[in-house]
Every structure is written in C-alpha cells, then in structure tokens.
Structure 1
Amino acid sequence: MTTQPPSNIGHLPTERAHAIGKRVEAFVRDVVIPYERDPRCGPHGPSEDLVKELRAKAREAGVLTPHILDGGDHLTQLETAHVLRFSGLSTLGPTAVNTAAPDEGNMFLLGKVASPAQKERFLAKVVSGEARSAFFMTEPADEGGAGSDPSMLQTTAVRDGDGWLINGRKAFITGAVGASVGIVMARTSTGDKTTATMFLVDLPDPAIRVERVLDTIDSSMPGGHAVVLIDNLKVADDQVLGQVDEGFRYAQVRLSPARLSHCMRWLGAAVRSQEIATAYAVRRKAFGKLLVDHEGVGFMLAENMIDLKQAELMIDWCATVLDSGSLGTTESSMTKVAVSDLLFRIADRCVQVMGGTGVTRDSIVEQVFREVRAFRIYDGPTEVHKWSLAKKIKRDALGKGNG
C-alpha cells in the first residue's frame, strides 16, 4: 500500500535539515518499511544481524547518524526535530539510521562532556553505527533502587587503588544485550545518596552480567530491556565521564534532549499510523458507505489531525528553548507529558478506526500503539513530570509573594 508522505511536518527547517530530512524519509519509506515483517524482529527488538544489515544500507545511502554532521557538529534541536520525525516513520527507522534511544541521547551526552580521548575510545564507534550503547541508571524497584527518584541510587563506586570498584544491580537497561559501550551511574560519596558519578565502560565485561531480559509491552529497541548485575567492576580514573560527583548534573544535560528526541521519533510513527488508518477508512465500506463517511470514524481522523499538529508545535517550541542554551527542564517535562498523551490518543484512535485489523500484527499500527503506551512511562512517568511542574508552580508563586 502506497500512502502520501506527510507534508510540511514541523517548523520550517533550514536548508540542510530539509535536505537531510528528505533523504531520511525516502530511505525509511523505501528501504526500511519492507523490513517490518522480517522474522528477525522479535519481542526484544530487532536482532543484531538485522541491525547490522539495516545500518549497512543506511551507510550506503548516506543517511547513517544524520543528526551529526561530518566533523562532529550536531544539528540544532529544531533541525534534529525535523530529521528525527522522518526516522520515526517506521519503528525500525531510528535503529536503521542510528537515531534511536539510548544511543542518540548517549551520543549527545558524550559529545558535550567526554574528553577527547574518551570520544575517540567510546563515542566514535557509536556515531559510526558500528556499536550500540547502554545507559545504566535505573535500578530494581523491589530492592528500593533508583527509578523516577534518582536520589534512591544504590549502586556504589568506591576508590580502589588507582581506580574504582563498582557494585549494584540495574533494571530496564535498554540495549544492554549487544551493547559495546556503557555509561554507568553510581553513588560516589559515602552517606550522600544525592551525589553520583558517571563511568564509561567497554562491553561486554565479565563483571557486568545480564540476569534476564524483561518481557515488555514495547518491542522496537535492540537488546530489549535487561536486569543487570554489576559485580566488582573495576574501572580506571580515565573512565570517569567528566568530573567525580557530577553525575546528576550531567544527567540533566542528557535528559531534556533525550526526552524530546523520543517525542520527535514517535511523532513520525503517529504520522504513519494516521496515514495507514486513513487509507483503510477511505477504502473499507460498512453500512453502504466508506468508513470515513461515518461521522464516528471521520471525526476520529480529524481529531488525530489536530493532535498531530499540537504535538508538532510542542516539540518545536521545546527545541527552540533548548537551542537558546537553556536546560529546558520545565519545557521538556511539559512537552513530554503533552506529546506522550497526544500520541497515545492518536494511536488508540487509529486502532479503533481499523477495527479488528487494528489489533493484529498485520499492520504496524498495533505496534505503534504498544510503543507509545510505554512512552508514557519511560523517561519519567506522566505523573512524576506533573508533580515536578506543580512544585515549580508553588515555588514560583510563593517566591512572588502570591502564596
């Protein structure tokens, strides 16, 4: 089935973003989408073999890691928003062109914080698409570990001769299976759970053992989401990312752009779902007329059009804030909440429009529905972001004497 590409999605891009976006869109639609039914797409994401095959094709087409230019310069966030939407037109697209989580966020962080030697050792192979990475932050909830509240961090790193010894357990570590680069967050100040350090590690390492890969509602990310034991991991001083005890500050550098990138990619998936649902509604008949001519169906597609535009505008607004040099913590929380809810409503309506077909894996719409449902939880559940925003409202009001 051929569908029309989305027209003018997003803020008017720069010439370079427009050109890159066009190439990425053509590659995803023409090359990547046919792979969506490949048997190598499993419950824990595409296989390593499939990842390598897709990235080889992306490299040949000149669209691998399109948001990072020759010489290492990064597109602006507004330009990135334009390009990443097109990569998200397929659930395999971000993996194929190397804009997927957690790699995209890790590349951004290392580009900002890593030393030249660390960039050469760890970053270069991720940017080239030759390696994947994992971010080891979240810990098992049943052990009281860190999740939405990072101050609960239990993994420790203690001085050991000329290096560090790290111990702990991590959970929901996306892409740990098959990753070559790891960023491990560990507490480094005794008795102070709010102080942490990031460490760069080569993977696999015998001291980092995957206990199991969780069966989750989403299935687009290579390696899935793992529970990991870190048992006496020895790292050298030159593996400290940035400065000791600055881990949470660096996490803020990564956090807002990574949240926003999720929004960018999944907006593309929602656009594609709307295309598929629309094509179904203008072809399928019931009760003597096309589905789209039934008000209940046509109105759902109309509401999707409105929600797509709202999501797009929120993303571009937040990207502009980040491009101004702000951390954008408040703006990214607002955008993450709004966009994740909007995209879930869009995906839900697309499933509904397609009826029985919408809940089968004959269409990618079913997977998009599952993926955007999970998005309402990762990178901070909606409720945590709202709680954070409410605290800011109170703080600002009392600070102005309006309490």
Structure 2
Amino acid sequence: MNFDHSEKSLALMEKLNKFMQEEIYPVESEYHDLVASNSNTWETPALMHSLKEKAREQGLWNLFLPEEYLPYGAGLTNLEYAPLCEIMGRVLWSSEVFNCSAPDTGNMEVLAKYGSDAQKQEYLVPLLEGQIRSAFAMTEPEVASSDATNIATSIVDKGDYYLINGRKWYTSGAMNNNCKILIVMGKTDPQAPRHSQQSQILVPIDTAGVTVVRPMSAMGYLDEPIGHAEVLFEDVKVPKTNLILGEGRGFEVAQGRLGPGRIHHCMRLIGCAQRALDLTCERVEQRIAFGQPLSKQQSVRESIAQMYCKIEQARLLTLKAADHMDKYGNKVAKNIIAAIKIVAPKMACEVIDEAIQIHGAAGTSQDTILSATLAYARTIRLADGPDQVHMMQLGKNLVVQQQGK
C-alpha cells in the first residue's frame, strides 16, 4: 500500500481544510444554538442550506461517490476519500454540508448500484442534488436485529402492490422534515432459505399507514434536526415497482450498502478522536494544577501519548481497509472491513473518554463537543452491526481460511 495520498486527494484535502477553517468552525456553536432554539425541532436551519451552496460551488459535493457515478461525485477511490471523510468527522454535523452524511450516502449507493432507472430518477437524483433527505429502516424493537434474519416486518405480494406491516426503530434520518423516502427491509417469503427471505423496498414517508411514532434518543442525544425515529407501518401499500433489485435479495443489497457505510463511520470517528486529541493538547497548556500546566504532569503526557498511538493504529488500519476495497472489492475485503469496524469505534470511545477526563468538568458540559462525540462513538459500536457480530464472523472466517490452506 502506498501511504502517500494521491495528488487529487491532497488537493481536495487542502480545499476542504480551508472550507472547514473559514466556514464550519467559526459557526459551529451558532449552528448548535440555532438547532436548540428552533421551534420546529426537525427543521434544518437556513445556515446549513447556505453552507451547502458554498460547498457545492467549490466542488466539495458528493465526495463519497466513486468514478462510475461521475458527474455526480468527485470520482474518488475509497482510499482517496478516507482523509476527506476524516476531516468532516471533526465536526459531527459537517458531513451534511458536503452531501456526504449517513444515512443518505448509503441510500444513494444502494440506488446507484441496485436501483431501476425509474427509482434513480425519482429518488437518487434528488438525493444527489441535495433536494431531499432519506432514511434507512432496518432495526426492529421486538427482535434481536443484530441477527438480521430475525427481522419480522412483512412485505406481502398483493398482486398489483405490496402490503407492509411492522414496527421499526432507530430509523436514522426519519425525523427530519425533509426526509421524503425510506428504504425498508422486511420479509417477503418466510419459507425461503434463511438469507433469501428478506427484501428491501422504497416507501415514501407520506404513504398512508406510515406513522412516525417518536424520536429515539441515543445516549441522551436526539441528534436534531436529523433524528432517529420509531416508525410504524400499518397496511402500507406501495407499488411493486418500488422493490429494490428483486424479492429475496435484501441481504445482497444490505451487504452492498453496509461495506462502504461501515468504513465511512470509521473514517469519521478517526476525525472525532483526532479533534478530541487536538483539543486536549490545547487544554493541557492552558490549565494550571499543582503549580504547573497540566502538560507538565507525567500522567497527562502518558495519556496523550496513548491517545496518539491508538488514533494512528486505527487510521492505518482504516486506510488499509479502504485500499483493499479498491483493489479487491468489498467481498474480498470483508475481513479487514470487519476488523476496522471493531477497532475504530472502540478506539474513539477510549480516546474521547480520556479527553473528557483531562478536561475535567468542562469535558462533560455543553461547552465542548466531547460528550456528544462520545455518545456518537458509543452508538456506532452498535450501528451497522454490533462489535460481537463482527468479531463472531471475523473469527469464523479466519478459522475457515486457515483450514483451507
């Protein structure tokens, strides 16, 4: 693997860093205040729309889309996108500015890769243009969704249409006022082989029978104005043309979606952790304890050194995973994708927790980003598959691989 970033990536990193310095960091607190003071909790502030226009004008738009989706994206490889995604991850909400935020990125990848021409025209193009938002409805409250074969939402063929019944929660993106479309995973054939029972289908959020029940908090945060919703589907009728790829192919679609999605989370988490370390290095020079700056305390120096080592290890593994995805494809790279999904969220939790400890009471307050980023990192240890599932599958794969030698 070449550890030097490409010229294309370096140029975009310079441009993106400049944009963050000039447009994002100066309004970081203002954006949070606007969201907190908005009488309509789930309405995206006008400031976000203004930032999106600026980003698009500067060519910092849809950076996650690879070359085959030009002219809508920047045409970057996973390896080229990794440092850019990390930069965005330094501010939790900034990836939306560049139309690179979850769950829209994953949903756009699904539609681009598996959608019909009609589905692409109706939903993918508006998403690529940033005109609408979307949500992904997979997890259910009544079953252990870490085993996706448990998912019980029914998608029943009624001849001219499908009828959907079920309850989802932590449907990311569904609370936002501009969310127009849900990708729903459910069961079309309970009698089929285990991994051929599920399908994915497009459901407009305003379809009769779709009820957004409530926002779900994650570690005490509602993630306004995007949110994670509990959604009820009661005799929801959707055209058969809304099915993605075909009946029984839900797992195939999910795997195509979750590979890039998992590594994107890891890239952003490295940005979160790096920002926590940077803030800590500033803090320890400013605070005096026991007659000298915290930076002079041996235990503090050791903590900072450990934080740095953990971030670098995770960053290198992320870059290696991205490189393998580019060279060999997501399926071949599944082991190292699983590895980084295990490593990066836990690393971020540890680094951010240590940053909070060194910041003292301020680290737990709303005056820093640390508590919010810790909640995000901890949540990602469950999102797109919990640690235990990735470890179980990775361990199995490694044993089988060794036996096959």
Match of 1:381 in 2: 386
1:151-170 maps to which residues of 2 (within 5 A)?
151-170=149-168
Match of 1:16 in 2: 8
Match of 1:184 in 2: 184
Match of 1:4 in 2: none
Q: Is 1:52 aligned to residue 55 of structure 2?
A: no
Per-residue displacement from partner, 1:305-338 (whole Å, max 9, x unpaired)?
1111111101101111111224232221111111
User: CA 1:93 to 1:11, structure 2 compared with 1: closer, same or farther past 3 Å?
Assistant: farther
Q: Is 1:357 aligned to residue 362 of structure 2?
A: yes
Q: CA deviation at 1:66?
A: 2.6
Give the SS at the match of 1:41. helix
Letter in 1 for 2:104: D
2:216 corresponds, among 214, 217, 235, to: 214
Letter in 1 for 2:79: L
Q: CA deviation at 1:399?
A: 4.8
Query: How big is the alpha-carbon RMSD for the aligned residues of Structure 1 and Structure 2?
Result: 2.2
Per-residue displacement from partner, 1:348-370 (whole Å, max 9, x unpaired)?
11111111211111111222122
1:225 corresponds, among 225, 228, 235, to: 228
**What is the alpha-carbon distance in structure 1 between the residues aligned to residue 240 and residue 5 of structure 2?**
42
Letter in 1 for 2:17: E
User: CA 1:46 to 1:24, structure 2 compared with 1: closer, same or farther past 3 Å?
Assistant: farther
1:67-106 maps to which residues of 2 (within 5 A)?
67-68=64-65, 70-72=70-72, 74-106=75-107
Segments of 5+ residues of structure 2 without an aligned counterpart are: none
User: CA 1:319 to 1:136, structure 2 compared with 1: closer, same or farther past 3 Å?
Assistant: same
Letter in 2 for 1:33: Y
1:237 corresponds, among 223, 237, 240, to: 240
Q: Which deviates more from structure 2 when the two are superposed, residues 217-226 or residues 149-158?
A: 217-226
Match of 1:128 in 2: 129
Give the SS at the match of 2:218. coil
Q: Which has the higher contact order (CA 8 A, sep 6+)?
A: 1
**What is the alpha-carbon distance in structure 2 between the residues aligned to residue 286 and residue 204 of structure 1?**
57
**What is the alpha-carbon distance in structure 1 between the residues aligned to residue 355 and residue 289 of structure 2?**
17
User: CA 1:338 to 1:46, structure 2 compared with 1: closer, same or farther past 3 Å?
Assistant: farther
Letter in 2 for 1:62: G
**What is the alpha-carbon distance in structure 1 between the residues aligned to residue 9 and residue 212 of structure 2?**
39
Letter in 1 for 2:387: T
Letter in 2 for 1:20: L
Match of 1:5 in 2: none
User: TM-score under structure 1 normalisation?
Assistant: 0.90
Asked whether the equivalents of residues 14 and 79 of structure 1 are also in contact (C-alpha less than 8 Å), the reply is yes
**What is the alpha-carbon distance in structure 2 between the residues aligned to residue 158 and residue 377 of structure 1?**
29
User: CA 1:85 to 1:185, structure 2 compared with 1: closer, same or farther past 3 Å?
Assistant: same
**What is the alpha-carbon distance in structure 1 between the residues aligned to residue 319 and residue 28 of structure 2?**
28
Q: CA deviation at 1:75?
A: 1.8
Asked whether the equivalents of residues 35 and 225 of structure 2 are also in contact (C-alpha less than 8 Å), the reply is no
Q: Is 1:316 aligned to residue 313 of structure 2?
A: no
Asked whether the equivalents of residues 155 and 165 of structure 2 are also in contact (C-alpha less than 8 Å), the reply is yes
1:286 corresponds, among 274, 285, 289, to: 289
Asked whether the equivalents of residues 215 and 222 of structure 2 are also in contact (C-alpha less than 8 Å), the reply is no
Match of 1:329 in 2: 334
Match of 1:369 in 2: 374
Letter in 2 for 1:375: I
Q: Which deviates more from structure 2 when the two are superposed, residues 11-20 or residues 96-105?
A: 11-20
**What is the alpha-carbon distance in structure 1 between the residues aligned to residue 391 and residue 287 of structure 2?**
41
User: TM-score under structure 2 normalisation?
Assistant: 0.89
2:63 corresponds, among 47, 60, 66, to: 66
**What is the alpha-carbon distance in structure 1 between the residues aligned to residue 211 and residue 42 of structure 2?**
21
**What is the alpha-carbon distance in structure 2 between the residues aligned to residue 36 and residue 72 of structure 1?**
28
Give the SS at the match of 2:259. helix
**What is the alpha-carbon distance in structure 1 between the residues aligned to residue 308 and residue 337 of structure 2?**
23
Q: CA deviation at 1:103?
A: 0.9
**What is the alpha-carbon distance in structure 2 between the residues aligned to residue 326 and residue 159 of structure 1?**
32
Q: CA deviation at 1:278?
A: 0.6
Give the SS at the match of 1:186. strand
Match of 2:350 in 1: 345
**What is the alpha-carbon distance in structure 2 between the residues aligned to residue 107 and residue 42 of structure 1?**
29
Give the SS at the match of 2:208. coil
Q: Is 1:26 aligned to residue 32 of structure 2?
A: no
Give the SS at the match of 1:180. strand
**What is the alpha-carbon distance in structure 2 between the residues aligned to residue 46 and residue 18 of structure 1?**
36
Give the SS at the match of 2:286. coil
What fraction of aligned residue pairs are identical, expressed as a percent?
30
1:108-123 maps to which residues of 2 (within 5 A)?
108-123=109-124
Match of 1:306 in 2: 309
Give the SS at the match of 1:91. coil
Asked whether the equivalents of residues 219 and 371 of structure 1 are also in contact (C-alpha less than 8 Å), the reply is no
Give the SS at the match of 1:63. coil
